Amino acid sequence: MLEHLSVLSPDPILGLAAECRADPNSNKIDLTVGIYMNESGVCPVFHAVREAQQQLVADEITKAYLPAAGDAVYLQSMKSLVFGDELVGDGSKITAIQTPGGCGALRIASEVLAAAAPDATVWISNPTWPVHIPLMGSVGLKFETYSYYDPASHGVDFGNMTNDLKGAKKGDVVLLHGCCHNPSGADLTLEQWAQIADMAEAQGFTVLVDLAYQGMGTNLEADVAGLRLLAGRLGELIVAASCSKNLGLYRERTGVALFFGKDTQTAAATHSHGLGAARRVYSMPPAHGALLAGRVLSDPALRASWESELSEICARMIELRTQLSEKLSEKTNQDFSFISREKGMFSFLGLSVDQARGLRKDRGLYMLDSSRINVAALNEQNMDKVVEAVASVL
């Protein structure tokens, strides 16, 4: 049977990272996958996570399954990290399902959405993370795209975005990136989030927020101000959150699907659908990452250490953006100041596919075909090499 299968194209992100790993060029630079790298080119373990891990190894007495919904301390901590204590209130209107990473959260959210509104169309930003459509499409949801990024101005094309979203109707879902838009780094302002809330109220669509970078754009609070505004105004919001980046738990696959609902009855029904979906797809979530995240977020000393390290990381990424934008502008006589206005790990350099591929082949500089780079993989060693290589094709 399997001989009938044909070979699929490699994943546009992971495939390139594998190509880079296999490249024997000792000067290669990998700006493909979104992973935070420190000045030594290592993706570090947060001090608080390391400490929590030592505690966990010493304390852990069982490897029995977690409940299908996940670890209670982790779930409570994530509700409050994302929504804040005021919106959480007594928590009875919020359903939380611990998931294997942010992808798992998107999948559980999609399963619940497909159960609630099988004919829903999901509106996705153009461009978006390339996995959104295959991942959410795997439960049978349909898609439309809305304009988002204007390559000419290097910013959000809000006029066309809202124009396109006029087509989103009651029963449709609009997927927004909570912060640090992947792949563009161009985020909505709070005023623009408020205008989306107006549209959602008037048109009746539901908003799903993909939140993979809380704390990596501006800070833990500012990065969720938009989604909190929506939750407060609309009374209904779905969030797929990930701890891969902000807690450095990439390989531990730690995420959560959060359903902010209007009443406790809706929350109970949503919870049952979330549990059913989890059981169908993977049964119970992996424990290790969530147990670490739960400890870090709920223990005051570990929490303070994590927050301080996260804000240093965020500040370093902002500094890398400033340096890259200044060096590129100076070297090319073109305006790259947009890089310092954008947020999080990613920005487009504005190169053509041929230029991006040429840099890969001729210089060992790996970025996506779209010229998306992972700013968080730059450092003092590779910054000038990147600037020089990019300038050579402009």
User: Which positions touch ligand LMR (CB under 6 A)?
Assistant: 13, 33-34, 129, 182
The residue type found at 283 is: S
Q: Which of 123, 129, 193, 306 is catalytic?
A: 129
What is the per-residue DSSP string for 142-166? EEEEEE-EETTTTEE-HHHHHHHHT
What torsion do the CA atoms of 223, 227, 232, 233 make, to the nearest 10 degrees? 130
The residue type found at 163 is: N
What torsion do the CA atoms of 168, 171, 177, 179 make, to the nearest 10 degrees? 100
Determine the Cα–Cα distance for residues 277 and 284; give it in Å rounded to an integer: 11
Determine the Cα–Cα distance for residues 25 and 9; give it in Å rounded to an integer: 24
193 is known as an active-site residue: no
Other Cβ atoms within 10 Å of 32 Cβ, number: 24
Output the smallest distance, CB 128 to ligand LMR, in A. Answer: 10
Q: Which of 79, 245, 327, 343 is catalytic?
A: 245
Tokens (6 digits) for 245: 């980046």
Output the smallest distance, CB 35 to ligand LMR, in A. Answer: 7
Determine the Cα–Cα distance for residues 221 and 347; give it in Å rounded to an integer: 22
Q: Which is nearer to ligand LMR, 101 or 364 (CB)?
A: 101
Determine the Cα–Cα distance for residues 41 and 222; give it in Å rounded to an integer: 28
**What b/e readout covers 17-30, taking b as 16+ CB neighbours within 10 angstroms?**
beebeeeeeeebbb
| Residue 176 dihedral angles phi and psi, to the nearest 5° | -120, 150
Closest to 337 measured CA to CA, from 351, 320, 322, 318: 322
Tokens (6 digits) for 333: 């006589």
Output the smallest distance, CB 349 to ligand LMR, in A. Answer: 15
129 is known as an active-site residue: yes
Q: Which is nearer to ligand LMR, 33 or 109 (CB)?
A: 33
Output the smallest distance, CB 306 to ligand LMR, in A. Answer: 21
Q: Which of 69, 212, 257, 356 is catalytic?
A: 212
Output the smallest distance, CB 182 to ligand LMR, in A. Answer: 5
**What b/e readout covers 35-44, taking b as 16+ CB neighbours within 10 angstroms?**
bbbeeeeeee
- Closest CB to ligand LMR: residue number: 34
Tokens (6 digits) for 267: 């929350």
Closest to 366 measured CA to CA, from 13, 39, 42: 13
Closest to 77 measured CA to CA, from 52, 110, 108: 52
Q: Which is nearer to ligand LMR, 53 or 182 (CB)?
A: 182
Output the smallest distance, CB 371 to ligand LMR, in A. Answer: 14
**Do strands 142-147 and 121-126 pair parallel, antiparallel, or not at all (unpaired)?**
parallel
306 is known as an active-site residue: no
Output the smallest distance, CB 13 to ligand LMR, in A. Answer: 4
Q: Which of 210, 277, 299, 356 is catalytic?
A: 210
Contacts of 90 by beta carbon, 8 Å cutoff, 6+ apart: none
Output the smallest distance, CB 138 to ligand LMR, in A. Answer: 15
Q: Which is nearer to ligand LMR, 13 or 310 (CB)?
A: 13
Report helix, strand or coil for 76.
Answer: helix
Which residues are annotated as catalytic? Answer: 129, 210, 212, 245
